Amino acid sequence: MKCGRECGGEKAKELGVCPAASHTKLDSAHGGKNAGRVCWVVAGTMCGGEVQGSFAKKHNDCRKCEFYQRVKKEEGPNFLITLDLTEWLK
């Protein structure tokens, strides 16, 4: 999302490192680094400048997100549904 919250990013010190940027169990999902291209699966990411809560609370909003929609379109038939992604967390 180019929010500057990646490890060593310009806003990481001020706002903290984004959980998606450091969530290694989801590394490489949809070709991203850590959970960078599956941020909707990770609690504590930001949206609209506010930290989002648990996966269950944020999932419906994330599905409407421009980034989510872009990843879904780019991945096409290879798009991993959220249930499949949560299996990576085990």
Q: Is the pLDDT of residue 55 over 80?
A: no
Q: Rounded mean pLDDT of the chain?
A: 89
How does DSSP classify residue 6?
Answer: S
Q: Is the pLDDT of residue 24 over 90?
A: yes
Band the pLDDT of 9: cuts 50, 70, 90: very high
Domain count within the chain? 1
Any domain includes 90? no
Point out which residues pair with 47 in neighbouring strands: 50
- Could you tell me what percent of the chain has a pLDDT over 90? 49
Any domain includes 2? no
Residue 17 token pair: 């490192």
- What is the extent of the structural domain holding 42? 12-84
Any domain includes 4? no
Any domain includes 5? no
pLDDT tens across 60-77, in order?
888 899 999 999 999 999
- Exposure letters 69-82 (e unless 16+ CB within 10 A, then b): eebeeeeeeeebee
Any domain includes 79? yes
Any domain includes 50? yes
